[in-house]
């Protein structure tokens, strides 16, 4: 019952690492809904929680810089994990919420987390008006009309840091995979997945050295599923890249203990038109590792998408962007060079000290 197990469950609810094992998860007997390819996303309803799915997240990353050109990155994530496929008011709610927030500077990485139970009002997501919150962290719609996610205010804090930002979308919502149905393994595990990668951001960061006014770009991912990983998959590397030409690239690599990694990518044109690429189209190759928290973690990557003549090199802004939380992982801003330039975010899970 301790927080380790709880977070593990939040993160890898359907993974092989879970105590329940893979086989029993996502089946009818458990009562959780399973993503289906033909189901269409519907907004703003799908911005809200889906308690009948085991796991769900509202995941925002942003590449920011101040007036002097110093780069920063922030992360704001709200995870929902269901112990049972229903919602309830009060203490009886089976919905558990986990908040993660990060702030990366070239020298320092800050991280914080919050944990709450659904049904109590301590954490949750509402659609009208749109708000996602846990404690005093929030992502609140400020859009007077149109999609609620078009404009947002965002805040979080932790020991040594805080941020308060306003976000304005300059492009449409983008479904990932096939119309939002994103396949995660050769066996067919999948999730619903859509993004809003077109945020222009301004606001302020609070650092131990004082407040910093920043501007930049942000990317929101929405994903929910009951079975995100396959039995032999033990972690992933995930990227969201803002290219200087206005195009975006989402890509991930699910590492498999027994075979080749499963990759997926979506090329997003500057007008928001997505081009999904199936397994194998994208290759992600670690170039250099950094010793982080006792384990070698790749902090320099070669990214190739031959279909788009894309050949990029990613360098971590701060190789020690370690989210040293109950469930630890690496998450931080990267700088893009190669066939294109730009900035982006890299997330890597499943790297543990030997």
Partner 1 sequence: MRRAALAALISHWRRQPLQFFTLIAGLALATALWSAVQAINSEARRSYAAAEGMLGLGSYETLADPAGRMPLETFAELRRAGWPISPVLEGRAQFGDQRIELLGLDFISAPQANLPGNPQLREALSPTEIFLPPGIAFVAPDTLRALHDIDGLPRLIADTSLPPGRLVTDIAVADRLLEAGGEIDRLILLEGAPNGVPSALAPELQRFDRQSQGEISRLTDSFHLNLTAFGLLSFAVGLFIVHGTIGLAFEQRRSVFRTLRALGLPLRNLLALLLAEILLLALLAGGLGIALGYLIAAALLPDVAATLRGLYGASIPGSLAFDPTWAASGLGVALIGALVAAAHGLNAIRKMPLLASARPRAWAVASTRSLRRQALAGLALLVAGIAAPILADGLLAGFALMGGLLLGAALLLPLMLGAALSAGAALARGPVAQWFWADTRQQVPGLSLALMSLLLALATNVGVSTMVSSFRLTFTGWLDQRLVSQLYVTAPSEADGERLRAWLETRADAVLPIWKVDSPLYGAPGEIYGIVDHQVYRSHWPLLASSDTPWEDFYAGRGALINEQLAYREDLSPGDPVTLGPGWTLPVSAIYSDYGNPAGQAIVHLPLLQEHHHELPRLRHGILTKDPEGLARALHEEFGLPRANLIDNDSLKATSLQIFERTFTVTGALNVLTLSVAGFAILTALLTLSSMRLPQLAPPWALGLTRAQLARLETLRSLALATLTFALALPTGLMLAWSLLAVVNVEAFGWRLPMFLFPAQWLWLLALSLIAALLAAYLPVRRLARTDPSQFLKVFADER
Cα separation of 73 and 311, whole Å?
A: 23
> Please, which residues have CB within 8 angstroms of residue 311's CB and are 6 or more apart in sequence?
302, 303, 304, 338, 339
Shortest separation between residue 315's beta carbon and partner 1, angstroms = 35
Shortest separation between residue 121's beta carbon and partner 1, angstroms = 3
Q: Is 339 in the site for partner 1 (CB under 8 A)?
A: no
Shortest separation between residue 235's beta carbon and partner 1, angstroms = 22
Angle at 36 between CA 33 and CA 39, to 5 degrees: 105
- Per-residue binder mask for partner 1 (CB under 8 A), 114-143, x = binder: -xxx--xxx----------x-xx-------
**CB-wise, 95 or 196, nearer to partner 1?**
95
Which 154-213 positions form the footprint of partner 1 (CB under 8 A)? 157
Q: Is 313 in the site for partner 1 (CB under 8 A)?
A: no
Considering only residues 94, 272, 286, 328, which one is a binding residue for partner 1 as defined by CB under 8 A? 94
> Please, which residues have CB within 8 angstroms of residue 29's CB and are 6 or more apart in sequence?
none
Considering only residues 16, 41, 84, 207, which one is a binding residue for partner 1 as defined by CB under 8 A? 84
Which 3-22 positions form the footprint of partner 1 (CB under 8 A)? 3, 5-6, 9, 19-20
**CB-wise, 53 or 133, nearer to partner 1?**
133
**CB-wise, 122 or 166, nearer to partner 1?**
122
Shortest separation between residue 119's beta carbon and partner 1, angstroms = 9
**CB-wise, 83 or 178, nearer to partner 1?**
83
Considering only residues 90, 160, 259, 338, which one is a binding residue for partner 1 as defined by CB under 8 A? 90
Say if strands 55-65 and 71-82 run parallel, antiparallel, or are unpaired: antiparallel
> Please, which residues have CB within 8 angstroms of residue 66's CB and are 6 or more apart in sequence?
72, 212, 213, 214
Q: Is 29 in the site for partner 1 (CB under 8 A)?
A: no
Q: Is 27 in the site for partner 1 (CB under 8 A)?
A: no
Shortest separation between residue 158's beta carbon and partner 1, angstroms = 10
Which residues form the interface with partner 1 (CB under 8 A)?
1-3, 5-6, 9, 19-20, 83-84, 89-92, 94, 96, 115-117, 120-122, 133, 135-136, 157
């Amino acid at each position: 019952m301790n927080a380790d197990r709880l977070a593990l469950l939040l993160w890898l609810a359907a993974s092989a690492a879970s105590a329940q094992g893979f086989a029993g998860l996502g089946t009818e007997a458990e009562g959780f809904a399973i993503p289906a390819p033909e189901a269409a996303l519907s907004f703003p309803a799908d911005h809200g929680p889906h308690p009948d799915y085991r796991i769900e997240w509202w995941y925002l990353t942003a590449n920011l810089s101040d007036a002097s050109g110093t780069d920063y990155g922030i992360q704001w994530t709200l995870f929902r994990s269901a112990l049972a496929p229903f919602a309830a008011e009060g203490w009886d709610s089976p919905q558990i919420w986990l908040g993660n927030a990060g702030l990366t500077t070239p020298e320092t990485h800050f991280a914080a987390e919050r944990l709450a139970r659904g049904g109590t009002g301590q954490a949750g997501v509402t659609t009208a008006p749109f708000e996602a919150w846990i404690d005093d962290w929030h992502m609140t719609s400020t859009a007077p009309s149109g999609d609620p996610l078009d404009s947002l205010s965002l805040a979080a804090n932790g020991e040594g840091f805080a941020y308060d930002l306003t976000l304005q979308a300059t492009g449409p919502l983008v479904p990932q995979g096939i119309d939002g149905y994103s396949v995660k393994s050769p066996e067919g595990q999948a999730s619903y997945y859509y993004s809003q990668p077109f945020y222009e951001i301004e606001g302020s960061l609070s650092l131990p050295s004082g407040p910093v006014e920043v501007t930049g770009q942000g990317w929101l991912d929405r994903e929910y599923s009951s079975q995100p990983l396959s039995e032999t998959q033990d972690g992933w590397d995930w990227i969201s890249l803002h290219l200087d030409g206005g195009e975006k690239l989402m890509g991930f690599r699910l590492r498999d203990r027994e075979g080749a990694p499963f990759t997926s990518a979506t090329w997003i044109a500057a007008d928001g038109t997505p081009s999904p690429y199936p397994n194998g189209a994208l290759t992600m190759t670690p170039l250099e590792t950094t010793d982080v928290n006792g384990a070698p973690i790749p902090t320099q990557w070669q990214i190739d998408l031959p279909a788009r003549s894309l050949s990029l090199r990613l360098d971590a802004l701060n190789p020690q962007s370690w989210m040293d939380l109950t469930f630890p992982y690496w998450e931080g801003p990267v700088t893009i060079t190669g066939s294109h330039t730009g900035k982006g975010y890299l997330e890597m899970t499943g790297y543990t000290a030997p």
